[in-house]
Amino acid sequence: MERCDFCELPVGGGCACSLVRDGQGTRGQGAGAATGDAHLPGKAILISPRGVAHRPGCLHQSESEVKAPLWGWITDPDPRLWRRLSAGSPARATHGNTERVATRRCRSCDA
């Protein structure tokens, strides 16, 4: 199955990147994302299986998908961590799948 490099969702099966790029979609700012029975604060950093960091409420992932063992997350990150995050300054998950390491930020969440 082909996945979008931008949002990681299946192309033709949930990827809405063209809507976001064209200005028709907006990034949600939900209070938190579901992680099984727990809820994450809006400042949390979610780390996808592909090493991309997302924020809760991102339109590129479903709240029901954000759970261990596939995803990892950082519930109380340093406020500067989001901007520092890169291949040279990766972030490791502290909860969920703690083997997940983010090396890039979701472009939509970064806006």
Inter-residue contact 34 to 66 (CB < 8 Å): yes
pLDDT of the residue at 93: 95
Inter-residue contact 61 to 8 (CB < 8 Å): yes
The bridge status of strand 95-96 relative to strand 72-74 is antiparallel
pLDDT tier at 17, thresholds 50, 70, 90: low
pLDDT of the residue at 24: 31
Q: pLDDT (tens digit, 9 = 90+) per residue, 70-95?
A: 899 999 999 899 999 999 999 999 99
pLDDT of the residue at 9: 64
pLDDT of the residue at 28: 34
Residues with Cβ within 8 Å of residue 77, at least 6 apart in sequence: 43, 44, 45, 91
Q: pLDDT (tens digit, 9 = 90+) per residue, 21-57?
A: 333 333 333 333 444 434 677 789 999 999 999 998 8
